[in-house]
Amino acid sequence: MRVVSVAAAVAALMVSTAAMAADKPELRIGSVVAMTGPASALGLPEKNALELLQEQIAADTSLPFTIKFITYDDGSDPTKAVNNVRKLITEDRAHVVICCTTTPTSMAILETVTQAKVPNISLALGQSVIEPVKDRHWIFKTPSTDQLQVTGLVDDMVKRGIKKVAFLGLEDSFGEGGWIALQSVAKAKGVEIVASERFSRTDTNFTPQALKVRQASPGAVYIHAIPPSSALVHQALKRVGYTGPIYHSGGSANNAFISIGKKDVDGALLGTTPVLVYTDLPDSNPLKPVISKFAALYEKRFNVAKVDIFPGQSWDAGNVAIKAAADAVKAGAKLDDVDASRAAIRDKIENGIKEFVGVGGIFNYSPTDHLGLDARSTFISVVKNDEFRLYDAK
């Protein structure tokens, strides 16, 4: 008898959840990230964060819809990204697309999402993904940009009274992005660029470039590269006797930078997102509780020592999508009418996401700004005793 009643209770429960699911519409969030290929170091954490979001959101009954996450791999390949996005749009009928991990893949899908009129939130660094805004009507992104980080660093140079800066960068598209950003920011802030030297990841010697920079006697040096070369260039500058401040791009904000540079990179200043230094933020900063919560969840779920910047980007993208969709449904959008609700969600991302506190910063999207981040979301960190700490500009 008891067995029967338990079984009946379970059956009743199942029926009721099924009924609940049935009377709520379904929001489909499709994402394409680089789980394999050269960008998998970025794409895998992004996929993990989406998985975590799915688990967290499943318990949330306050939303006016149920959420289905569909995630595909693009293998860091633009062609595959386009195919998978098409599949998400036509077969899976996704309301929002989160794609893609890298700038080249994100550029490749622009045409596809624009033609299909589907809102897309990119996880790529490059500014070209969302600019010019009038041609990128359907595209938003969550990661901070070179421009924003360089602005923070150049502001610090100006504060220290530095008038001349030297640029050292990788000779690929990454370095070029930094060079373009530094040129425009330095011009606007009245800082003169006195040297511009290039190197590649496979170089065996960085001293000549360091010598050239030293000869130009800059007040500060800005290095736009990733480890190992960013750390090695830093060492080379020390070796030739350069003693001024050395600034780095966010590309160096990872543990490899310190393990390669060792004592030599002590005092290096890096432009970075809040995730790297959130523990040093004052408790009054609205970002601190949000990041702390996310970091604790992520570190526990995936058993990592310290969360890095990439999972936060897809976490934010997912949350922005859910928030916009909830707003759209509240305003009367019907998720079953896929085309109309896609447009409604896009409008809500652009106009409804105000002072939205995410892991990567405080988002304020607008018709002229599809990144939505400002100076409050970029920080300078300093290497102190083999750790990244928040740099106190005072």
Partner 1 sequence: MTDTILFLLVDGLTNGLVYALLALSLVLVFTVTRVVNIAQGEYVMLGALTLADLLQGRMPGTLYLLVGGLALCVLLDAPRWRRDWRRALAFAGGLIVAAVAAVALTRGALALQLPVIGMMAVALVLVAPIGVLIYRFTVHPIPNATTIVFVIISVGVSMIVQGLGLLIWGANPYPVDPIASGGLMMGPVFIPYQSFAILIVALLSMGGLYLFSEFTLMGKALQASAMNRLGAQFCGIPVNMAGGLAFLLAAAFSAISGMLLAPLITANYEMGFMVGLKGFVGAAMGGLVDYPLSLVGVMIVGGLESTSAYLASAYRDVLVFSLLIPILLWRNAKQRVETR
Contact footprint for partner 1 (CB under 8 A): 38, 41, 171, 197-205, 207-209, 211-212, 215, 227-228, 232, 239-241, 256, 259-260, 262
Do the Cβ atoms of 41 and 79 come closer than 8 Å?
Answer: no
C-beta closer to partner 1: residue 114 or 196: 196
b or e along 176-186 (b: 16 or more beta carbons within 10 Å of the residue's beta carbon)? ebbbebbeebb
Least separation in angstroms between residue 58's CB and partner 1 is 33
C-beta closer to partner 1: residue 146 or 197: 197
Q: Is the dihedral of CA 91, 95, 100, 103 positive or negative?
A: positive
- What letter would DSSP give residue 264? G
Distance CA 342, CA 98 (A): 13
Q: Tell me the DSSP string of 133-195.
A: GGG-TTEEE-S--HHHHHHHHHHHHHHTT--EEEEEEESSHHHHHHHHHHHHHHHHHT-EEEE
Q: Is the dihedral of CA 270, 271, 273, 274 positive or negative?
A: positive
Least separation in angstroms between residue 252's CB and partner 1 is 12
Least separation in angstroms between residue 261's CB and partner 1 is 9
Least separation in angstroms between residue 38's CB and partner 1 is 7
Residue type, 238: K
Least separation in angstroms between residue 204's CB and partner 1 is 5
Residue 306, both tokens: 């310290």
Do the Cβ atoms of 118 and 96 come closer than 8 Å?
Answer: yes
Least separation in angstroms between residue 33's CB and partner 1 is 17
CB atoms within 10 A of CB 332: 7
Residue type, 59: A
Do the Cβ atoms of 141 and 129 come closer than 8 Å?
Answer: yes
303: left (phi over 0), alpha (psi -120 to 50) or beta: left
CB atoms within 10 A of CB 196: 15
Do the Cβ atoms of 380 and 269 come closer than 8 Å?
Answer: yes
C-beta closer to partner 1: residue 159 or 262: 262
C-beta closer to partner 1: residue 179 or 294: 179
Least separation in angstroms between residue 208's CB and partner 1 is 4
Distance CA 309, CA 24 (A): 34
Least separation in angstroms between residue 211's CB and partner 1 is 5
Which helix (H) or strand (E) segment holds residue 277: the answer is: none
C-beta closer to partner 1: residue 27 or 33: 33
C-beta closer to partner 1: residue 22 or 41: 41
C-beta closer to partner 1: residue 131 or 171: 171
C-beta closer to partner 1: residue 207 or 364: 207
Least separation in angstroms between residue 197's CB and partner 1 is 4
C-beta closer to partner 1: residue 147 or 207: 207
